[in-house]
Amino acid sequence: MNINNFQHQYIRDLVWLLTTPALAHCTAESWQIPAADPDTLAFIDQELIKGALRDKPFITDLPSGSPLLPFAQNNPPRRLGLYVEQLWGYWLRLHPEIEVLMSNRVIHHQKKTLGEFDIILRDFRDQKIWHLELAIKFYLRTPDAWGAPWRWSHWLGPGCIDSLDHKWHKLYQQQLTLSHRPEVQALLHGEACLPDHSSSLTRGILFYPDTADPLLISSANNHKISPVRINSAHQRGIWQTFRHWVDCQPETSDWYIMRKPHWLALPAQPEWQNKRQIMSEIDHELQREHPVYIAHRQSEQRYFIVPDHWPHQQPLPWHYPDKRRLDEDQTEYL
């Protein structure tokens, strides 16, 4: 399925989710996504375009049961995670081989919050009930961090707040095991929604540093090492410090600034700008400690441009005294 066959940004973002390799290793990403119908997506794409061309929401033109309703609003949520959840939820509810039983279900027990199920569905292909944890993540490999080079602590979000270390431990040890708890099983069994299996549904990009950047002082070989429990076919990007980007990129190179929540697919007709045209905006964002996510036209590569002193902080490594770390053995996942 070719993303360039679609015009509307929502559908392009959805197709990006459907066609981009999983981020998590197959030990977590065990559910097989059912095949999408390109004709159905093409129909929805054209209907959305018609609505946009009329310059008005077409929600008033649709019957209450129309599958287009979730996309009939002109203002998607700015939060990337929420936007991706809505895209997945829309597509799963539309698919004839899937029945969504519940979504965003918070589980309480004895006045305590035990966790939340992103999606529980029935898959008619195997007649099983599946619990799916959804995630969209963009992590950058730090020049220097705690632990062996394959450990998750070396990967930070661009804002240096979240990390692959905390996200993956939470995914494996809390989210994917929520349905194993006896009190949760009793609740879901009573609602006929007890999962037979749990799986992640992860997408994202890992950004590797440009090893030619003179501001990076640690071993260049370590920069190439991927973290454990990551799909070896994951999508890769590059990050550069602003100074190095200014020094090494040609003046004639063309760029497009990716803006939330549309961090997934490029627009059908991007408004490319040369380096000099976007330099001041990038510099302005970096002054506020906001790394900038951009696409390069000539190489079709994704980049994060970060302040010269990035990272300005690093989260402490994940640690629970009663649980072992899951990124200690590199060879198990090669």
pLDDT tens-digit series, residues 56-114: 443 344 444 555 555 555 567 789 999 999 899 989 988 999 999 999 999 998 888 99
Q: What is the pLDDT of residue 228?
A: 85
Please tell me which residue, 157 or 320, carries the higher pLDDT value.
157
User: Which pLDDT does position 247 carry in this prediction?
Assistant: 94
Q: How large is the average pLDDT for residues 144-169? A: 85
Structure tokens at 330: 């590199």
The pLDDT score that the predictor gives to residue 27 is 81
Average pLDDT over residues 272-288: 95
pLDDT in tens, 223-233: 678 888 899 99
What pLDDT is stored for residue 327 in this prediction? Answer: 67
- 289 close to 302: Cβ distance less than 8 angstroms: no
Question: DSSP letter string over 197-243?
Answer: EEEEEEEEEEEEE-TT-TT--S-TGGGGPPPTTB-TT-EEEEEEEHH
Mean pLDDT to the nearest integer, 270-295: 95
- The answer on pLDDT for 321 being more than 90 is no
Q: What is the pLDDT of residue 200?
A: 95
Q: Residues of the chain with pLDDT > 70: what percent? A: 85
Displacement of CA 67 from its chain's centroid (Å): 24
Residue 151 has pLDDT above 90, yes or no: no
Q: What is the pLDDT of residue 148?
A: 74
Alpha carbons 211 and 98: distance in angstroms, whole number: 45
pLDDT for residue 110: 85
| Residues whose CB falls within 8 Å of the CB of residue 244, separated by 6 or more in sequence, listed in order | 210, 212, 213, 214, 215
Mean residue pLDDT of the chain comes to 86
Confidence of residue 118 (pLDDT cuts 50, 70, 90): very high
Average pLDDT over residues 193-221: 84
Task: Tokens for 268, please give them.
Answer: 């059908």
| Rounded Cα distance, 169 and 167, in Å | 6
Q: Give residue-wise pLDDT tens across range 28-62.
A: 899 999 999 999 899 888 888 887 655 444 334 44
pLDDT band, very low/low/confident/very high, at 334 (cuts 50, 70, 90)? very low
